[in-house]
A and B are shown apart, each in its own frame.
Chain A
Amino acid sequence: MIKIWSMKKNEDAAAKKKPKTSAAQIRVQKDLTELDLPSTMKTNFPDPADLLNFSLTITPDEGMYRGGAFTFSFAINTNYPHDPPKVKCTQTIYHPNVDLEGNVCLNILREDWKPVLNLNSVMVGLQYLFLEPNADDPLNKDAALEMSKNRDQFLNNVKASMRGGHIKGTQYDNVLAR
C-alpha cells in the first residue's frame, strides 16, 4: 500500500477534520445568512430549525404589480447546489411567466441554473419578473398575449386580478398587501 501518510505530514500540519454537517446544509446557511435583500422582499421560515423549506414574499414598490404581496415557496434538496431550489408561487396570480399552478418561468431555476448562483440570485430574479414581465416566455398564454397586444387592457387585468377578480373565467387570489 502506498505511503500516503508521509505526504500528509509534509502538508500543512493543521488538523483538517471537518464536521458532519452536509455540504448542502453549510451552503444553505451561507446563502441565507448572506442574503442581501431589499425591503421589498422578506423570507419566512415556518420552522426556523429547517433551513431547507421556507417562503419568500415580494411586495414590489414600483411597476404594474405594485401594491401586491406575492409569496413563493422554496424547497431545497440535499443535492443543492448541484440541483437548483424548487420554487413555486403559492397563490393563483395573473402573470405572463407564472401559470395557474404556480410554476414559474425563470431561466436560472431550470436550464440556466449553475452551482455558482445562490439563493440571492434566484430571489432577485423573481423580483425582476414583477418589474419586467416577459411576454416572450409565456406560461400564462392569455396574460402574455394580452400584454403584447393590448397593454392597457393587460394593466387593467393585473389590477383586477390582484383584487381577487375574475379574468376569462379564472378566479385569481386577492394578493393586495395589507
Chain B
Amino acid sequence: MSSQSASTSNTDWPGRYHHIDQVLNSPGPRTDPAFLAGDGVKDFLRHQAKILVIGAGGLGCEILANLALTGFKDIHVIDMDTIDISNLNRQFLFRTKDVGKPKATVAAEFIMKRVPGVKVTPYFGKIQDKDDNYYMQFNLVICGLDSVEARRWMNATLVNLVDPENPESLKPLIDGGTEGFKGQARVILPTITSCYECSLDMLNKPTAFPICTIANTPRLPEHCIEWASVLEWPRVQGDKKMDTDDPEHIGWLFSVAAARAKEFNIEGVTWSLTQGVVKNIIPAIASTNAIISAACCNEAFKIATSSAAYLNNYFMLIGTEGVYSYTFEHEKRDDCPVCGGEALELTFSADLTVEGLIEMLVEKQDIQIKKPSLSSPKSQIYLQAPPQLEEATRPNLAKRVSELVPNGGEVTVTASTLPFSLSLRITYT
C-alpha cells in the first residue's frame, strides 16, 4: 500500500490523462472566471483534493472507480457492511473470495491495485464513529447510501460544520440515490442551498399495509410476511430484538409466514421475498447505479476543478418507462430543522437566570416569540408543556443559565410562533 502512494509521481505516464486534460488545459466560453486552466487545476485535483465517499456498495463501487479514473488521488471511503454473495452481480470491485470481508477495505485495495498512484483509505465502520475534525479534512463528500437515517446524519453533520469564520468548513455534499429504475443526484452546499432535510417530505414512504389487513384478510405473500414480522415476532419472541441480518431470524419469519400463506392459500412466500420485505429491499439495478454514480462524479469533478457549471441542484432520473430525466432547483426551506431557522448570538451576564433569559427573549421585538421552550444539546432547560415536563423543568428557572450551558454553548428554542426553531449561541460577560 505504502509503495503505491510513494510512487504517485512516477505513475503519471505521458498521456495518462490525455482526455481529461482536454477539459482542464484551457477555459471554455462558459467556464468560471476563477478557473485556473492548466497546471494549477491539475495540481489541485491530483495532489491536493481530498474526497470522502460514503458507502462502498452499488453506488460506492461505481463512484470509487469513476473518481480514481478522473484523477482524484486521495480518496477516503467509509462503509459499515461486509460483502454478501448477492452483491457480486453489480458491486464489481468484489469477488467470490471476498464474501464476508469489509466492503470498504476490499474496494480500497481493488482500486489501488487497478489504478496506479491512487490512494484509497478505507474505514470499516459507521459514519457516526467519526467526529467533526475527521470530516473537516475533506474538500468534498459524495454519498452513495441506501439509508435515509445515514443521509440525514451526514447532512446535519455537514450543515453543523459550517463555521461563519472559516471558508474551509463548507463542504459540498453530493448525494446519489437509486431505487430500482429511478434515481437522483443532487448537489448540496450546506447552509446555502436546500439540504437533505429540506426535502424529507418528498420521500416515498416505504410500502406499509394496514395492520388490520395483515391481521385478518391477507391476500398477498407480503401480507403474510408482515404478519410474521410485525405481529407474530413480538408476540412469540417477546422483547427479543429482530435482527434482519441474522439468517436464523429471517428463517423463523419465513417459516411462520409460509405457514400463514398455506392457511390462506396464498402463493409466493419465499426466503428472498421475506428478506426483501423485512429489510425493505427494492431490487437494485446495476445500470441505474452506473448512471447516478456518473452524474455524482461529474459534479465532484466540476466542483473540484471549476471547469464547468455544476448542477443546481437536483437531478432526477426515471427509467421505468423509457428514459426520462428532469433537473430543477429544490428550494431551501425556512422551517427546515437542520439548515433553516434563525440563529442569534446573545451576550449577557453569567448571573442571568433562565427566567431572565426567557423574559429577554419574549421582549425582543425582532423575533416575536411567545412561550418559548428551551433545551441544550444535552438536556431540557425549560419546557412550557406538557404539565409534567413543565413541573420537572421548573426548578431550572431560578438557576443561572451559566450553570446549565457552557460559554459559547448552544440553546435550542421552540415556540408555536416560530416557523421551526431558533438557536442561540451564548457568550457570558
Contacts and interface: CB of A to CB of B under 8 A. Distances in A.
Interface of A: 1-5, 7-8, 11, 14-23, 25-27, 29-30, 32-35, 37, 42-45, 48-49, 51, 78-79, 81-82, 97, 99, 101, 103-105, 107, 109-111, 113-116, 137-139, 141
B412 A113 contact: no
Nearest to B411: A19
Contacts of A115: 200-201
Contacts of A8: 167, 170, 191-192
Contact of A2 (B212, B234, B310): B310
B39 interface: no
A113 B209 CA distance: 12
Contacts of B211: 103-105, 109-110, 139
**Which of A48, A51, A97, A104 counts the most chain B CB atoms within 10 A?**
A48
B212 to A, nearest CB: 4
Contacts of A35: 385-386
Interface in B119-151: 139, 148-149
Dominant secondary structure of chain B at its interface with chain A: mixed
B289 to A, nearest CB: 23
B216 A141 contact: yes
Contact of B337 (A23, A43, A111): A23
A30 B414 contact: yes
Contacts of A138: 212, 215-216
Contacts of B367: none
Interface stretch (B15-23, B91-99, B152-160): B152-160
Interface string B337-360: 111011101000000000000000
B94 to A, nearest CB: 29
Contacts of B205: 113-114
A101 B215 CA distance: 12
A45 B385 CA distance: 12
A15 to B, nearest CB: 4
Contact of B384 (A18, A33, A97, A104): A33
6 nearest interchain CB pairs?
A19-B410, A48-B392, A5-B167, A23-B337, A137-B212, A33-B373
Interface stretch (B57-65, B174-182, B417-425): B417-425
Nearest to B336: A23
A5 B190 CA distance: 11
Dominant secondary structure of chain A at its interface with chain B: loop
A115 B388 CA distance: 26
B255 interface: no
30 contacts: A1-B304, A1-B306, A2-B172, A2-B306, A4-B167, A8-B191, A15-B164, A15-B343, A17-B163, A19-B376, A20-B160, A21-B377, A22-B156, A23-B197, A26-B412, A26-B414, A29-B375, A29-B380, A30-B421, A32-B389, A45-B389, A48-B389, A48-B392, A48-B393, A81-B200, A82-B148, A99-B215, A109-B211, A110-B210, A137-B212
Nearest to A111: B208
B189 A7 contact: yes
A21 B412 contact: yes
B385 A26 contact: no
B368 interface: no
Contacts of A7: 189, 192
Nearest to B231: A103
Nearest to A101: B235
B329 interface: no
A97 B213 CA distance: 12
A29 B420 CA distance: 11
Contacts of B1: none
Contacts of B380: 29, 48-49, 51
A78 B149 contact: yes
B377 A20 contact: yes
A116 B385 contact: no
Given A21-B377, A30-B414, A79-B148, A15 B345 contact: yes
Given A19-B377, A48-B393, A139-B215, A26 B337 contact: yes
**Which of A18, A49, A51, A81 counts the most chain B CB atoms within 10 A?**
A18
A20 B379 CA distance: 12
B162 interface: yes
Contacts of A48: 380, 388-389, 392-393
A16 B210 contact: no
B416 interface: yes
A27 B49 CA distance: 37
Given A20-B410, A32-B389, A107-B210, A4 B172 contact: yes
